[in-house]
Amino acid sequence: MPAPTTFVIAGGGLAAAKAAEALREEGFDGTIVLVGREPHLPYERPPLSKGYLQGGDERQKIFVHDAGWYREHAVDVRTGVTVTAVDPAAHQVTLSGGERLRYDKLLLATGATPRRLTVPGHDRGHVLYLRTVDDSDRLRATLSTARRIAVVGAGWIGLETAAAARAAGVAVTVIEQERQPLLGALGPEIGAVFAGLHREHGVDLRLGARLAEVTEEGVRLADGSHIDADAVVAGIGAVPDTDLAAAAGLTVDNGVKTTADLRTSDPDIFAAGDVANAYHPRLGGHVRVEHWANALNQPAVAARAMLGKEAAYEELPYFYTDQYDLGMEYLGHVPPGTAHDVVVRGDVRERAFLAFWLRDDRVIAAMNVNIWDQGDQLKALVLAGSPVERAALADPSVALERLVPSGA
Ligand SMILES: Cc1cc2nc3c(=O)[nH]c(=O)nc-3n(C[C@H](O)[C@H](O)[C@H](O)COP(=O)(O)OP(=O)(O)OC[C@H]3O[C@@H](n4cnc5c(N)ncnc54)[C@H](O)[C@@H]3O)c2cc1C
């Protein structure tokens, strides 16, 4: 009897679980082996810096599926196991226990890992990172006893951590080297909104500040000042986990490079989620994002392609955050370093507004802050990609529908 067709999924996060699910939904009845380094079934990370960190969300709610689901769908889940090597020529992966597994198709869903501090004192025990549920448990325990913490980096993880710490009554200093929080993601105008939000909630936000050292009692900045802290949380970005791919000789450039159907430079190896730098036909270039929605939706495309069906990932990048009483969604893509303008509609001071990123008078990204009934219109505007009048865009009395050309 010929050996059953075997698909191996390297990685144990949201993208991995969704790939197993999509393969079964597409009717694949061969063997699926999902290999994840963490000792847990695949789970979702957004609650780890929000509800779960603050003690609101129950632990079982973060898992993508329970153990029964994997059994019922005949998915062989190996938790606490690392894929240590891929041999594309032999169609084999090596696992941390030494076992070698043959695959017909392989999906890399290895995600990303936090960028580490490198300043003197970076390895002190009170330096924490936030990526895994174990990290979140550790941080939650710290917040229950700490009087003050320092957060390095005013990106999404740093700011959500600051909000959780303030909710726990912990004093927070955020250290950010740029002139505004979230500068790279949202630009100075909208970054300033987040600066105001955190300052209003009592965060000591140090902008344009460089970390020089982690000390026994906190952190020292490049200007010589010292900030006392019982713990230091580093939220300075993440790097795609490309070691396996690179060692296997796949094309790696800001993640594992793939075509629109998420196929890597090897025809039998695919990539999805945070690790994939995928060609995006709608955006006309390669895009790698570290977004929950991407890890949720890309695997269905990878699964189809692994089964030899036609597929292309064309969803617009989508991201959300919750901080204090501010909830926001962001849809679209502003390539880093490209010229653009921002138009705002609504009340920025009240933190209920829409923002539009424009290039050549076309909306390339849109964001809603504490406004929840215009998602479809915002998406239509970004998808239409046709010129819009700025004054009309900024004017709340002009319905957004009127700005979308009919038929778009
Ligand atoms: C704290 C936090 C909050 C977030 N909040 C939001 C949010 O509000 N909104 C939003 O849009 N996005 C958010 N994100 C981003 C979102 O969670 C990620 O985009 C998503 O988790 C990516 O999923 P993934 O499966 O591609 O990778 P990951 O979640 O990184 O999973 C990859 C898994 O594979 C494992 N692995 C790696 N290498 C190997 C190997 N060689 N062998 C076996 N296993 C391996 C890793 O240990 C990891 O468990 C947040 C992320 C974090 C960390």
pLDDT in tens, 200-247: 999 999 999 999 999 999 999 999 999 999 999 999 999 999 999 999
**Residue whose CB lies within 8 A of the most ligand 1 atoms, among 38, 115, 161, 292, for a mutation test:** 292
pLDDT score for 408 = 60
Write the burial class of residue 200 (CB in 10 Å: 0-12 exposed, 13-18 middle, 19+ buried).
Answer: exposed
311-337 pLDDT, tens digit each: 999 999 999 999 999 999 999 999 877
Cα separation, 10 vs 13, in Å, equals 10
Centroid of ligand 1 to alpha carbon of 147 (angstroms)? 30
Centroid of ligand 1 to alpha carbon of 75 (angstroms)? 20
Q: What is the mean pLDDT of residues 163-183?
A: 97
Centroid of ligand 1 to alpha carbon of 58 (angstroms)? 19
**Structure tokens given for 67:** 């153990």
Please tell me the residue having the least CA distance from ligand 1 atom 45. Answer: 11
Is the confidence at residue 28, as pLDDT, over 80? yes
Centroid of ligand 1 to alpha carbon of 370 (angstroms)? 26
Amino acid at residue number 269: I
Helices (H), 146-240: 156-167, 183-200
Cα separation, 100 vs 320, in Å, equals 40
**48 CA: nearest ligand 1 atom:** 1
Residues in contact with ligand 1 (CB, 6 Å cut-off)? 10-16, 35-38, 45-46, 48-49, 82-83, 109-112, 130-131, 157, 241, 244, 273-274, 290-293, 295, 319-321
Is the confidence at residue 85, as pLDDT, over 70? yes
Is the confidence at residue 340, as pLDDT, over 90? no
Is the confidence at residue 391, as pLDDT, over 70? yes
Q: What is the mean pLDDT of residues 116-137?
A: 98
Amino acid at residue number 162: A
Contact yes or no for 298/304 (Cβ under 8 A): no
Centroid of ligand 1 to alpha carbon of 298 (angstroms)? 13
Cα separation, 221 vs 198, in Å, equals 20
Q: Which domains are seen in the chain, by residue range?
A: 6-113+239-306 (3.50.50.60), 116-236 (3.50.50.60), 325-403 (3.30.390.30)
Is the confidence at residue 351, as pLDDT, over 90? yes
pLDDT score for 147 = 98
Q: What is the mean pLDDT of residues 332-356?
A: 91
Centroid of ligand 1 to alpha carbon of 167 (angstroms)? 25
Confidence of residue 56 (pLDDT cuts 50, 70, 90): confident
**131 CA: nearest ligand 1 atom:** 53
pLDDT score for 131 = 98
**Residue whose CB lies within 8 A of the most ligand 1 atoms, among 110, 129, 242, 256, for a mutation test:** 110
**Residue whose CB lies within 8 A of the most ligand 1 atoms, among 37, 40, 45, 133, for a mutation test:** 45
pLDDT score for 336 = 79
246-257 pLDDT, tens digit each: 999 999 999 999
Please tell me the residue having the least CA distance from ligand 1 atom 9. Answer: 320
Centroid of ligand 1 to alpha carbon of 274 (angstroms)? 7
Unique residue bearing structure tokens 């502003």: 334
pLDDT score for 406 = 72
367-381 pLDDT, tens digit each: 999 999 999 999 999
Centroid of ligand 1 to alpha carbon of 15 (angstroms)? 8
- Considering only CA atoms, give the Rg of the chain: 22
Confidence of residue 338 (pLDDT cuts 50, 70, 90): confident
**273 CA: nearest ligand 1 atom:** 26
Dihedral, 160, 164, 167, 169 alpha carbons, nearest 10? -120
Centroid of ligand 1 to alpha carbon of 390 (angstroms)? 37
**Structure tokens given for 57:** 């969300």
Write the burial class of residue 154 (CB in 10 Å: 0-12 exposed, 13-18 middle, 19+ buried).
Answer: buried
261-306 pLDDT, tens digit each: 999 999 999 999 999 999 999 999 999 999 999 999 999 999 999 9
Centroid of ligand 1 to alpha carbon of 12 (angstroms)? 9
* Edge-to-edge strand ranges of the sheet holding 83-87: 83-87, 92-95, 100-102
Helices (H), 181-251: 183-200, 243-247
Centroid of ligand 1 to alpha carbon of 111 (angstroms)? 5
Is the confidence at residue 110, as pLDDT, over 90? yes
Is the confidence at residue 407, as pLDDT, over 70? no
pLDDT score for 100 = 98
Tell me what percent of the residues of the chain surpass a pLDDT of 90: 93
| Range with lowest mean pLDDT among 180-189, 199-208, 307-316 | 180-189
**50 CA: nearest ligand 1 atom:** 3
Contact yes or no for 170/142 (Cβ under 8 A): no
Please tell me the residue having the least CA distance from ligand 1 atom 3. Answer: 46
Cα separation, 48 vs 150, in Å, equals 18
